[in-house]
Structure formats: C-alpha cells, structure tokens
C-alpha cells in the first residue's frame, strides 16, 4: 500500500471493502427491514464459528474510496449496515457523516473490541469472549446480541447484559451450526428470563445474503 492510500485509509476516506449489497436485515431488532450492507475487511477477534472468515485479512480487500461506497448506498436504501470483520478497526467518522448527509441511517454490527468512531443511529453489540468489548460500547449500544454456542454462553450472556445500559434491547441467537441443539434451550431460557428476546438468522432460512 502506497503512502497516499495508507493516509486515506487512516483518515477513513478509503476503507478495505470486502463486499456491499442490498438485502433484508436478517437478525436482531431490525429483522425484515431492507438495508444496504457494507462489509469491511479486517478482524482479529477470531471466532471459531465465524461464517465470514474471509473477512479477517484486510489485505485481501483493496482500499475503496468511501465516497464511492456512499454513492452506491444512496442508490439503494435509506439504511446502511456497517459490518465486518470488525468495522471499528477503522475510523468510520467520514463514512457515517457522509451517509447521514445523504439521509441514510447508520447501523453498525460490532464486537465492541475497539473504540467507537462515527455517528450511529443504531449500534448492535455482539460481544465475544476472545476479546471483550470496551465499556464505552456497552454504554452506547442499542442492542446486545449474544451468540449461544453451548450452555456456558448463557452465563456469559447475563454477564454481558449486566454491563449494558438499561435501555439496551437484549437478544440471544443460536450459533447457526448448533441451532438444532441450542434453540430449545434458548426458548426455555427466554421464557424464564423475559428481559431477553430471541434473534433468528432469518436470512439463512430465506436463502438471501
């Protein structure tokens, strides 16, 4: 990467774009809502069950002008979901201000492991044991989505909920490969602990991105 490109990336005027696409939000609070997804490369959290491991190495995803990303988004939707990888590895201030200047609401899906940058209409925090969120992300998150892979994750979920704000919406979501085993346990847990809701990966059932 040449120095000019590196400087633009550091300023958020270019980002290592993995993919961008218009689809239906499949998970969490905005399930069923059309949105433009912007997937940014780079992640060092390392979830063994991650279904987009090809996003981890930012060097595989060439820096793209943020202005171009915004132009593409505004042709499709009034909601942009910034995801990864771990998008907060990059400065997202320029991206979000540009999106909002074009009347596009900004949503992010993050592990919370890096400092918050950008202005957000909705923050979905999905904490991971390997690299826990910063307190500032707990404080700002609108939605806490904990992935349930095994029984121990219920304890982890409660620990995470205790750190979030009282207004934060709480979701449990079965890890896809283990959903048949864990979904009945999630249903039972939520019925006993109704502060939680169930998030389902509906986009996978609908066979859409």
| Domains defined along the chain, listed by start | 3-206 (3.20.20.70)
First to last CA, the chain: 30
Give the confidence band of 46 by pLDDT, cuts at 50, 70, 90: confident
Give the confidence band of 102 by pLDDT, cuts at 50, 70, 90: very high
- pLDDT of 181-194, one tens digit each? 999 999 999 999 99
The whole-angstrom separation of Cα 142 and Cα 120 is 10
Sequence-separated (6 or more) residues with CB below 8 Å from residue 97: 118, 119
- Residue 49 predicted with pLDDT over 80: no
Q: Report the share of the chain in percent with pLDDT over 90.
A: 93
**Chain centroid to CA 23:** 15
- Residue 53 predicted with pLDDT over 90: no
pLDDT at 176: 95
The whole-angstrom separation of Cα 169 and Cα 171 is 7
DSSP-based three-state secondary structure for 9: helix
Task: Decide the pairing of beta strands 63-65 and 34-40.
Answer: unpaired
Average pLDDT over the chain, rounded to whole? 96
């Amino acid at each position: 990467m040449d120095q000019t490109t590196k400087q633009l990336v550091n300023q958020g005027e270019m980002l290592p774009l993995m993919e961008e696409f218009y689809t239906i939000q499949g998970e969490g609070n905005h399930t069923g809502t059309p949105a433009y997804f912007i997937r940014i490369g780079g992640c060092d959290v390392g979830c063994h069950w991650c279904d987009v491991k090809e996003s981890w190495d930012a060097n595989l995803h060439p820096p793209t002008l943020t202005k171009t990303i915004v132009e593409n988004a505004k042709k499709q939707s009034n909601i942009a979901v910034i995801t990864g990888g771990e998008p907060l590895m990059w400065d997202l201030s320029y991206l979000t201000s540009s999106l909002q200047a074009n009347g596009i609401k900004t949503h992010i899906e993050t592990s919370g492991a890096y400092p918050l940058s950008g202005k957000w209409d909705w923050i979905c925090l999905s904490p991971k044991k390997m690299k826990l969120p910063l307190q500032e992300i707990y404080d700002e998150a609108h939605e806490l989505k904990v992935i349930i892979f095994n029984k121990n994750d219920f304890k982890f979920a409660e620990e995470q909920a205790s750190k979030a704000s009282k207004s934060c919406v709480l979701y449990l979501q079965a890890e896809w490969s283990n959903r048949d085993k864990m979904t009945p346990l999630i249903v039972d847990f939520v019925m006993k602990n109704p502060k939680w809701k169930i998030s389902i990966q509906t986009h996978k059932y609908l066979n859409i991105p």
